[in-house]
Structure 1
Amino acid sequence: MSELLDAIAGVPNACEPLPGLVAGGQPQALHIAALKRAGCEVLLDIREKMEPRPVGVPDDIEAAGLEYINIPVGHARGSDVTLARIRETVKQLVDKKRKAFFYCSSGNRVGASLIPYLMLDQGFEQEEAVNTAMRCGMRSAELMEWALDYVKRHTAST
């Protein structure tokens, strides 16, 4: 287990889908400090504005010396623009080897929104990408279909 993954022990659906990128559900304040100690640089939060936030964002995260990025994803199928923003953000983090924690409230939306990046940029086959997304907490068939539809529409353009 990596130091980064150890830092989010206790977070729902904590996993490390790629080296240097950990994912899962809502962190607590103790996780923010542990992530910083483990070398994490960025927290990518895809919760919507009105969701409960046990950790003050962005203030507490930035005070801990971490960069905070929010790209809201709802609990139902969203737009291609949203998936494209997440895909590009994750690509930049991975390409620049910036350690990051990618989260929502449970990991459900994180898992689904990782599928396009895993398939289009990392070369995962669909089964491997879906299994990885499920380890991150994906449970919604609707969100999985949204992500896979995006991949189908963008496969020819990659």
Structure 2
Amino acid sequence: MTSALLSAFSGLTNAAEPVAGWVTGGQPTEKQLKDFRAAGGEVVLDNRDPMEPRGFDEPAVARKAGLEYISLPIVHGAVTVDTMKRVHDTLRKLAGKKALLHCSSGNRTAAALIPYLMKEEGMQEEEAVDIAMRSGLRSTELMEIALQYERGLSR
């Protein structure tokens, strides 16, 4: 059964709900953000570089709709363990909130979920990676950086 939150994102690239209340995917439209708010959405975590084209003023549309908007870029070619730490810390603060987590396709966002799924949701590596892949992860490099960060947490 599809949740009301996920239903708000009909047509969104790689739309998934890997954690109850968190929808992940690609770049949303203005209508999808408004529908998300109407479905009970609270927060948008945008992992895109501010210079990436969106087609509209996403921060303004999100805020006008009554959504908290957080920009936490995961920049192609510049992702580090520190990037993963910042995203993980932010995701921990979003626990219990209804959130949209997105980049342009879901790839970067899905990779950054891996440490959260393992540490906070108690998943094994294989399950966390599988969920990330079903949520849009396509980059082996991003997956390895996420796992490197997670392994550092395990020490």
- Letter in structure 2 aligned against 1:76: G
Deviations 1:14-62 (A, max 9, x none): 0000111110000011101110111000000000011011231311110
Q: Distance in 2 between matches of 1:147 and 1:81?
A: 10
Q: State the partner residue of 1:154.
A: 153
Matches within 5 A, 1:62-101: 62-76=63-77, 78-94=79-95, 97-101=96-100
The runs of at least 4 consecutive aligned structure 1 residues that moved more than 3 Å come to none
Q: Cα RMSD (Å) of the superposition?
A: 1.1
In structure 1, what is the equivalent of residue 21 of structure 2? 20
Q: How many residues align?
A: 154
- Whether the aligned pair in 2 keeps the contact of 1:44 and 1:68 (CA below 8 Å) is yes
Could you say which residue in structure 2 is the equivalent of 1:37? 38
Q: Note the residue ranges of structure 1 that are not aligned, 5 or more in a row.
A: none
Q: What SS does structure 2 have at the residue aligned with 1:101?
A: strand
Q: With the length of structure 1 as denominator, give the TM-score of the two structures.
A: 0.94
Partner of 2:120: 121
TM-score by length of 2: 0.95
Q: Is the 8 A contact 2:81 2:148 kept in 1?
A: no
Output the amino acid matched with 2:9.
I
**Residue 11 (structure 1) shift:** 0.4
DSSP-derived class of the 2:86 partner: helix
Separation (CA, whole Å) in 1 of partners of 2:99 and 2:84: 18
